[in-house]
């Protein structure tokens, strides 16, 4: 049944069911443990002879419903939900790599992911080589005999660079490694990495899956055989998703497709407008013909997404002046919210990166990132009207 649904329908119907009460909106099972009819049933559940819930660190019906819905949307066999996006990345590495293994990661990934790989996992004997997202030769050259995992985000944050997922998957597979794609920016509404050759999809559900900035959560998706150790890590180490947050994400997924369509319609119009403002030096948005990987993005993604970055003329001073002149857009580093958000990466998300490394990564002092929300486009333009004045 699920296989025959259009994705929009699967977002609403997949993974949904009801209890004996016939509720149409899924119930939240806020319970840490589950009771058994008798001692024999408890033993059967624990031994795995009888399927069923035991304890919410292992399984919980609300979390299971969320996992089934997201797996249906990404077209994967299996999904394990986690307490945050970072927990999803950690669980992936802990489940699939061991001390002495090597990881190749894009240089343009979420700042905390860089910290996780370079500071924490390195202390446990996992070395990571960071390379340019858009240079396949650099990935090929970085491979070592012990390379286990390739890790990318596409489009990247904040410069919206796009890599060819199929090309990186082919390089990884040729060398016996796996490709994991953090699909947080696109969501399955815009991009389906497994159909492009990736092995693992990672989500911060905190962003567009929630869609209204309420809860933290994450997910890892792929084949059941591959993700069995990732699930094993979660049920033992414990960074599992709460039933309440899973319920919020279930509701979020019902509106994912219409929201992403509206987000990206606004983002494209804002990006086109920004390109014509005298206060703007350059706009970074995959949906614009001026984007260096525009053709690839349009082939790989359904649209350019909802993150628009741009360089203002006048460096940090002008960037801060613009941010402080906004009256509506939220000044925060979060994204994926109905509320548009504005960030100055050089002094916030990327402030721990050295100025030289920032410059090498193309993150200028005048760079601004907007995660375009669902407000009316004319109100967004009005909030940024300072850019219209030379
Ligand atoms: C936010 C984010 C994460 C981390 O997710 P949390 O839910 O905050 O732990 C990982 N990757 C990307 C691309 C993100 O934007």
Which range has the worst mean pLDDT, 7-16, 75-84, 228-237, 337-346? 7-16
Element (H, E) at 314: none
Q: What is the dihedral of CA 20, 25, 26, 28, to 10 degrees?
A: -100
- Of 330, 331, 361, 363, nearest to 346 by C-alpha is 363
**Residue 354 confidence (pLDDT):** 84
HSE toward the beta carbon, residue 193, CA cutoff 13 A: 31
**282: phi then psi, degrees, rounded to nearest 5:** -160, 145
**Distance from residue 164's CA to the centre of ligand 1 (Å):** 21
Q: What is the mean pLDDT of residues 149-177?
A: 97
Element (H, E) at 102: strand 102-106
- Tell me: pLDDT of 2 over 60: no
- Of 154, 176, 178, nearest to 165 by C-alpha is 154
Q: Specify the higher pLDDT residue, 163 or 362.
A: 163
Contact 191, 183 (CB under 8 A): yes
By CB atoms closer than 10 A (0-12, 13-18, 19+), residue 350 is buried
Query: Which CATH topology does 257-388 take?
Result: 3.90.1150
- Tell me: pLDDT of 3 over 80: no
* In the chain, where the domains are located: 2-254, 257-388
Is the CB of 153 inside a 6 Å radius of any atom of ligand 1? yes
Q: What is the mean pLDDT of residues 378-388?
A: 96
- Tell me: pLDDT of 243 over 70: yes
- Of 78, 25, 55, 76, nearest to 247 by C-alpha is 25
Contact 160, 181 (CB under 8 A): no
Is the CB of 184 inside a 6 Å radius of any atom of ligand 1? yes
The residue contributing the CA closest to ligand 1 atom 12 is 110
DSSP SS3 for 301? coil
Is the CB of 85 inside a 6 Å radius of any atom of ligand 1? yes
**Distance from residue 86's CA to the centre of ligand 1 (Å):** 6
Tens digits of residue pLDDT in 109-131: 988 999 999 999 999 999 999 99
**Distance from residue 192's CA to the centre of ligand 1 (Å):** 18
Is the CB of 210 inside a 6 Å radius of any atom of ligand 1? no
pLDDT confidence tier of residue 13, bands split at 50, 70 and 90? very high
pLDDT confidence tier of residue 285, bands split at 50, 70 and 90? very high
Fold match, 2-254 / 257-388: no
For residue 298, give both structure tokens.
Answer: 């349009």
pLDDT confidence tier of residue 45, bands split at 50, 70 and 90? very high
**Distance from residue 250's CA to the centre of ligand 1 (Å):** 18
Query: Which CATH topology does 2-254 take?
Result: 3.40.640
127-131/147-153 β-pairing:
unpaired
pTM over 0.85: yes
What is the separation, in whole angstroms, between the first and last Cα of the chain?
A: 57
Atom number of ligand 1 nearest to Cα 87: 9
What percent of the chain lies above the pLDDT cut of 70?
Answer: 99
**Residue 356 confidence (pLDDT):** 86
Q: What is the mean pLDDT of residues 231-235?
A: 97
For residue 290, give both structure tokens.
Answer: 């001026």
- Tell me: pLDDT of 155 over 70: yes
By CB atoms closer than 10 A (0-12, 13-18, 19+), residue 12 is middle
- C-alpha–C-alpha distance, residues 67 and 250, integer Å: 9
**252: phi then psi, degrees, rounded to nearest 5:** -60, -45
């Amino acid at each position: 049944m699920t296989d025959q649904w259009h994705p929009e329908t699967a977002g609403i119907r997949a993974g949904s069911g009801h209890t004996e009460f016939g509720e149409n909106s899924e119930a939240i099972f806020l319970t840490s443990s589950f009771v058994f009819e008798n001692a024999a049933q408890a033993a059967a559940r624990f031994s795995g002879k009888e399927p069923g819930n035991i304890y919410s660190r292992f399984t919980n019906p609300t979390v299971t419903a969320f996992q089934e819905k997201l797996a249906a949307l990404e077209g994967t066999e299996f999904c394990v939900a986690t307490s945050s996006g970072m927990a999803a990345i950690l669980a992936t590495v802990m489940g699939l790599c061991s001390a002495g293994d090597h990881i190749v990661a894009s240089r343009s990934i979420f700042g905390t992911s860089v910290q996780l790989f370079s500071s924490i996992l390195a202390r446990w004997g996992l070395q990571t080589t960071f390379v340019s997202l858009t240079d396949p030769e650099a990935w090929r050259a970085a491979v070592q005999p012990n390379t286990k995992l390739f890790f990318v985000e596409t489009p990247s944050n904040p410069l919206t660079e796009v890599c060819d997922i199929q090309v990186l998957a082919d390089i990884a597979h040729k060398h016996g490694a796996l490709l994991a794609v953090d699909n947080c920016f696109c969501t399955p509404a815009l991009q389906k990495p497994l159909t492009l050759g990736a092995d693992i999809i990672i989500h911060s559900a905190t962003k567009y899956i929630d869609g209204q900035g309420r809860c933290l959560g994450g997910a890892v998706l792929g084949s059941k055989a591959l993700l069995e150790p990732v699930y094993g890590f979660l049920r033992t180490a414990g960074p599992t998703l709460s039933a309440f947050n899973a319920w919020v994400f279930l509701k979020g997924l019902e509106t994912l497709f219409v929201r992403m369509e509206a987000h990206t319609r606004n983002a494209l119009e804002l990006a086109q407008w920004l390109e014509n403002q005298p206060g703007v030096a350059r706009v970074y948005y995959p949906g614009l013909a001026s984007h260096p990987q525009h053709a690839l993005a349009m082939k790989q993604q359904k649209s350019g997404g909802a993150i628009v970055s741009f360089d203002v003329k006048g460096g940090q001073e002008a960037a801060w002046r613009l941010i402080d002149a906004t009256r509506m857009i939220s000044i925060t580093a979060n994204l994926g919210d109905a509320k548009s958000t504005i960030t100055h990466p050089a002094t916030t998300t990327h402030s721990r990166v050295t100025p030289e490394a920032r410059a090498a990564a193309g993150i200028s002092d005048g760079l601004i990132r907007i995660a375009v929300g669902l407000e009316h486009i004319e109100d967004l333009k009005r909030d940024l009207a300072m850019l219209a004045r030379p």
